[in-house]
Amino acid sequence: MQFRPGAVTPGSGTGLESSASRRRLAALRSPWRHAWILEGVTWVYLAWSILPIGLAVLFSFNRGKSQSTWQGFSLRWYTSDPLNSVLHDPQLHAAVVQTLRLSLLTTVITVPLGVGFAIGIDRWRGRAASAFNFLMIFSFVIPELIFGVALFFVFTALLTSVHLGTAAEVLGLVTWNLSWPAIIVRARLVSIGHQYEEAAADLGASRLEAVRRVLLPMLMPAVFASAVLVFAGVVDDFVIVDLLSSTANTQPMSVIIYSNTHGGNGGPALNALATLMLVASFAVAALGYAGYRWMTRGERSGRQHALASITGM
Amino acid sequence: MTSRDRGDEPPGARRAGMLWAALAAPGAVWLLVLFVVPFYAVLAIAGGQISPILESIVPEWNPLRWRSSNAVGAWRDVVGSTAFVGPVLVRTVLYVAAASAISLVIAYPVAYFVTRFGGRRKGMFLAMLIAPFWISYMMRMLAWIDLLQTDGYVNRVLMSLHLVNQPVDWLGGQSSTVVLGLVYGYIPYLILVLYSGIDRIDPRLLEAGRDLGLSKWRTFVRVTVPLSRQSIVTGMLITVLPMFGDYFTNQMLSGAAGTSMIGNVIDGQLTTSSLEGQGAVMSLALLAVLLAPMLAYAVSTARASLESA
């Protein structure tokens, strides 16, 4: 959602040490003393971080209304309940559709915009380029609420022809996510260097051809990774869509979950909705991971690198 | 490097410059229109006046005619006799401080363990550390709402261990619940930043520390911690900044006025049209307070990207 560790270190992501130095490091530790306390802390943290989610998923399949007593497996809250299941409750149903619509629209607009921006800013040196780069990074760290408030005022007081709703949400989400492709593609540009373009130019390609036929294919893994991140980021986004949605029809899943749980009143159908959201995100992540591995198959980068890349690390 | 590059520029460089500018232009214009202009709109609303007929704010686009009435109103809310924002501000700072301190105390050992002792299981650990990143924030809060119900698992475990005699009303406006919610929500990002920071430390430096006679603990304190200081600062920034704009964690886990934060005040003012001006002032004030850390972050990131270029 609104915090994005990716900008921390442009060009990182391959911060994995070589096997030789890892071996040296292993020898460094006393072999008879494993860090049991640290390992304990890590497992307790992981259990604390993952078990609640597992239980929430489990209880979305509960036959009864309770979220703390297991009453048997059913798909009641997904499909069979005639009133309150995700399938039959028009509000929940519309939320799923709206989330998918926002994610697709935002990804399709953001990625080309950000990729062009990254290439342009990286190769076109000068004051204007660094000013825009700075602006982009600034848009990356600003708390989402402050930005969301600013957009809210733009659409209610200045660009009033854009009403609050899907159009405003997409415009806001594109702006908020533009830095993903910009930062990730730029990091890859830096690691590629200039030599391939120069070689292409020596062989008679024009600049534009060099970009299109040499640079872009080499950038594809980064472009792909940023598309995955933007899509998943929009699925998860809350603040912007909360402030810029208007009627129930334009509220995506995250807003529906939020507005139905004020003050701690969940409902099993919300668990089902959240589980669907989880499945959507994990599907995108798995697809992203597999796609990234496939695209970088000729390169010497491991699984951890692929995992880190699609997370924007 | 720029000056040397300029000298070597081939004759077609000017045209190339146009190409680069053309590629960057759509994104740049987008940022100007939808990132810079919106902040001018906030200023215009903050400097505007309430129209007596419509009972809502009329934005004032001419800076020379900006009024101070909204700013005065907001200031009265912070310090005046009917001030309700003052305590909220104090609470926000306390919550954020507590949540980020707890996060760091948990996150550092975890990140350190996985990088140094992960061994062959490193990929598995990394996948589990990344998992929350792919789970929606709202779902993660929802999961805790289930657990913290009066008859939920947390109370059942506590009662079976005889730690409490009656079920605790965790969701009825407890500060501890909100702080733990913040920790739970934001800690994955801190861990990932710390992980990549500690992972980049050259192991030869640790070796040098040991060779020079430092104990394991001293090596950690004198070598690892200073070398990961940058990632600690970055990690804290990227978790603390959004926490200051958070209005949903406490809404979901408590909903009581006694746990509201500055984000709730701003969010609430947007829904009342006569208070929109004060909401704009509050949001600008929050931006002003957070501007210094944000700029520090942006400058160091921009510099790092120049250096690696």
pLDDT tens for chain B, 309 residues long, are: 444 444 445 556 666 778 888 899 999 999 999 999 999 999 999 888 887 777 777 888 888 888 888 888 888 888 877 778 888 999 999 999 999 999 999 999 999 999 988 888 888 999 999 888 888 898 999 899 889 988 888 999 999 998 888 888 888 889 999 999 999 999 999 999 999 899 888 888 888 888 888 888 888 888 888 999 989 999 999 899 999 999 999 998 987 888 999 999 999 988 887 888 888 999 999 999 999 999 888 888 777 766 655
Contact between residue B16 and residue B22 where contact means Cβ atoms under 8 Å apart:
no
β-sheet bridge partners, residue B50: B57
State how far the Cα of B232 lies from the Cα of B230, in Å rounded to an integer: 5
β-sheet bridge partners, residue B58: B49
Three-state SS across chain B? CHHHHHHHCCCCHHHHHHHHHHHHHHHHHHHHHHHHHHHHHHHHHHCCEECCCCCCEECCCCHHHCCCHHHHHHHHHHHCCCCCHHHHHHHHHHHHHHHHHHHHHHHHHHHHHHHHHCHHHHHHHHHHHHHHHHCCHHHHHHHHHHHHCCCCHHHHHHHHCCCCCCCCCCCCCCHHHHHHHHHHHHHHHHHHHHHHHHHCCCHHHHHHHHHCCCCHHHHHHHHHHHHCHHHHHHHHHHHHHHHHCCCCHHHHHCCCHHHCCHHHHHHHHHCCHHHHHHHHHHHHHHHHHHHHHHHHHHHHHHHHHHHHC
Q: Is A32 exposed, middle or buried (0-12, 13-18, 19+ CB in 10 A)?
A: exposed
- Under the banding of pLDDT at 50, 70 and 90, the label for residue A28 is low
Contact yes or no for B135 and A15 at CB 8 A: no
**What is the distance in angstroms between the Cα of B29 and the nearest Cα belonging to chain A?**
10
- Asked if B184 is an interface residue toward chain A (Cβ–Cβ < 8 A), one would say yes
- Tokens standing for B235? 């990690």
- Under the banding of pLDDT at 50, 70 and 90, the label for residue A223 is very high
Nearest 5 degrees, angle CA B213-CA B218-CA B220?
Answer: 120
- Tokens standing for B86? 């003052």
The pLDDT, as a whole number, for residue A127 is 84
The pLDDT, as a whole number, for residue A259 is 87
Nearest by CB to A262, from B206, B255, B304: name it: B255
Q: Is the pLDDT of residue A102 over 50?
A: yes
The pLDDT, as a whole number, for residue A302 is 77
Q: Name the packing angle between helices A268-295 and A216-236 (round to 10°).
A: 170
Contact residues on chain B for A211, CB-CB shorter than 8 A: 19, 23
pTM: 0.86
Nearest chain A residue to B16, by CA: A207
| Neighbouring C-beta atoms of residue B283, cutoff 10 Å | 32
State how far the Cα of B231 lies from the Cα of B274, in Å rounded to an integer: 43
Q: What is the ipTM of this complex?
A: 0.88
- Under the banding of pLDDT at 50, 70 and 90, the label for residue A262 is low
Contact yes or no for B134 and A282 at CB 8 A: yes
Could you give phi then psi for residue B56, rounded to 5 degrees? -140, 170
Instruction: Tell me the average pLDDT across A234-241.
Output: 93
Contact residues on chain B for A144, CB-CB shorter than 8 A: 242, 245
- Asked if A264 is an interface residue toward chain B (Cβ–Cβ < 8 A), one would say yes
In this predicted structure, which of A1-15, A43-57, A76-90, A277-291 has the lowest mean pLDDT? A1-15
Nearest chain B residue to A66, by CA: B146
Contact yes or no for B206 and A28 at CB 8 A: yes
Contact between residue B271 and residue B247 where contact means Cβ atoms under 8 Å apart:
no
**Given the structure tokens 């036929």, which residue do they identify?**
A213
Looking at every residue in chain A, the average pLDDT score rounds to 83
Mutate to test the interface with A, among B139, B151, B272 (most CBs of A within 10 A): B139
Q: Is the pLDDT of residue A11 over 80?
A: no
β-sheet bridge partners, residue A62: A73
Contact yes or no for B206 and A303 at CB 8 A: no
What residue type is B27 in one-letter code? G
What residue type is B141 in one-letter code? M
The pLDDT, as a whole number, for residue A5 is 46
Instruction: Tell me the average pLDDT across A128-144.
Output: 89
| Neighbouring C-beta atoms of residue B51, cutoff 10 Å | 12
Contact yes or no for A49 and B19 at CB 8 A: no
Higher pLDDT, B186 or A196: B186
Instruction: Tell me the average pLDDT across A37-66.
Output: 91
Contacts of B75 (CB under 8 A, 6+ apart): none
Contact between residue B167 and residue B150 where contact means Cβ atoms under 8 Å apart:
yes
- Asked if B44 is an interface residue toward chain A (Cβ–Cβ < 8 A), one would say yes
β-sheet bridge partners, residue B49: B58
Instruction: Give alpha helix (H) positions in chain A.
Output: 19-28, 36-59, 90-123, 127-141, 144-153, 166-177, 179-192, 195-202, 207-210, 216-236, 239-244, 253-260, 268-295, 303-311
State how far the Cα of A121 lies from the Cα of A147, in Å rounded to an integer: 23
Nearest chain B residue to A236, by CA: B136
The pLDDT, as a whole number, for residue B185 is 95
